[in-house]
A and B are shown apart, each in its own frame.
Chain A
Amino acid sequence: EEQLLESGGGLVQPGGSLTLSCSASGFTFSSYAMSWVRQAPGKGLEWVSAISGSGGSTFYADSVKGRFTISRDNSKNTLYLRMNSLRVEDTATYFCAKQGYLKDAFDLWGQGTLVTVSS
């Protein structure tokens, strides 16, 4: 069974850093691009970042560019999101998602991990 499991969320002060992890199982991880999507409390979905299957190409939303870094370790079937210079407005549940071959649709999602940025 295909599965994604995020971890690493928590409470952090403004200006602080946090690294999220997403552990994948049940599919050939290195064959698929992956994305991070976030959802602020009571709000809609916001695409944050994406990475190619090899890890050679990375993409970011303007709202996080220069502060967040996406990476992956295909030997460990794990996706990461390093978040620096965190702001109150980064408070959200962060989901990792697998991009399928068909129009890059996000066909598998993790359960999400909550990041709270507050003093």
Chain B
Amino acid sequence: AQSVTQPDIHITVSEGASLELRCNYSYGATPYLFWYVQSPGQGLQLLLKYFSGDTLVQGIKGFEAEFKRSQSSFNLRKPSVHWSDAAEYFCAVGSGGSYIPTFGRGTSLIVHP
């Protein structure tokens, strides 16, 4: 069965600093990988996704993620964080045989001015 781990429950960064949110997955074949963002009291919005091709994926809001098969990771990065990036971030992994991705428990990003 597929699984996804987000090791960090909370991450605190200063505005303008770089950001990396970690995501590790467990699945034998090449998975579908997603990052979503959730602002308080809102639904989730898709930031970016990966299935095949270039392992560095660009998304919306200036985010990118890199798929590393050898490390079973799909970490989310942003070179310079803005206060508006404060939110909950979810990594999700799906398989070719299932429409249903598995979501991580989320990482809460706190941005200090």
A and B physically associate:
no
Q: Give me the interface of A with B, judged by CB distance under 8 Å.
A: none
